[in-house]
A = this chain, B = another copy of it.
Amino acid sequence: MSVTQPVRPPRRRAPRNSLNPDRILDAALTLLDRDGAEAFTMRGLAQQLGVGTMAVYSHFRGKDEISDAVAQRLLDTIELPPGGSEDPESELREVCVGVYRLFTEHPSALELLAGRPLRGDDAIALIDRMLGLLRRAGLGRADAAHAHVALMQYTVGSALWNTRRARALCQEGARERVRARIAALPSDTYPSLVALAPELLCQKSEGTGQFEYGLDGLLRGLLGGTPQV
């Protein structure tokens, strides 16, 4: 009576050579952007590709190697200003904005790039360019090295802060809850915070405007006191 038919033959064997590193990285980036790095899974990646879990291992050594490759690919996509302008400060500003954009458009890029050694040519070129601009802006050798790190730290920190904040505030009613909590604070123990609540909760205080406010301050402070004389 009962024919020996497999109970769950859910997926036909994938056609040969339908998989390749590029297709895998495309799918990985899609999932990373959509669900975040902590939800990125080898099993989920394979499912997205319509393939058995282990098929991916024929093209990459493992999850770390895929993460590295996605990180390198993301570094390519930074949009940098043309270069060769006569104003190193504003060119520097645009480079930082480009890096910030990468991290806010691809929040998982932070997790992917933060721990790793940055061994891509694009990363090297970016560092070299920033250092050159800082020297042209008049900084000494040690100052240029310090300033470059400070700019990267601020840029990375802003992206991290804003993506986390955006993720927290996009919950339903989260914004109103924060507002209510601040309104409920005793204004005699926390006078400044209560007084500045409108400014802190202002929409303008999020995103690129806030980032550029601090970036301009940092550039002013690092590049010396005479802005446009």
The residue among A117, A160, A193, A211 with the most chain B CB atoms within 10 A of its own CB is A193
* Stretch from A26-34, A41-49, A72-80, A184-192 forming part of the interface with B: A184-192
In the complex, are the beta carbons of A191 and B149 less than 8 A apart?
A: no
0/1 interface trace, chain A 13-43, chain B, CB 8 Å (1 if under): 0000000000000000000000000000000
Q: Answer yes or no: A9 CB below 8 A from chain B CBs.
A: no
> What's the Cα separation between A129 and B192 when bound, in Å?
7
In the complex, are the beta carbons of A146 and B210 less than 8 A apart?
A: yes
> What's the Cα separation between A206 and B154 when bound, in Å?
15
Interface residue from B124, B191, B227 paired with A128 (Cβ < 8 Å): B191
Contacts of A157 in B (CB 8 A): 153-158, 160-161
In the complex, are the beta carbons of A149 and B132 less than 8 A apart?
A: no
Contacts of A217 in B (CB 8 A): 147, 150, 218, 221-222
Residues of A within 8 A of B (CB): 114-115, 117, 119, 124-125, 127-129, 131-132, 135, 141-142, 144-158, 160-161, 164, 167-168, 178, 181, 185, 189-193, 195-196, 199-200, 202, 205, 210-211, 213-214, 216-222, 225, 227
In the complex, are the beta carbons of A149 and B205 less than 8 A apart?
A: yes
In order of increasing CB-CB distance, the 9 nearest A-B pairs are A157-B157, A150-B214, A221-B221, A217-B221, A220-B221, A145-B199, A131-B192, A132-B192, A128-B193
> What's the Cα separation between A26 and B178 when bound, in Å?
30
> What's the Cα separation between A43 and B80 when bound, in Å?
47
In the complex, are the beta carbons of A161 and B168 less than 8 A apart?
A: no
Name the residue on B nearest A130 (C-beta).
Answer: B192
- A106 CB to closest chain B CB (Å) equals 17
> What's the Cα separation between A17 and B222 when bound, in Å?
57
Contacts of A220 in B (CB 8 A): 220-221, 225
Contacts of A129 in B (CB 8 A): 192
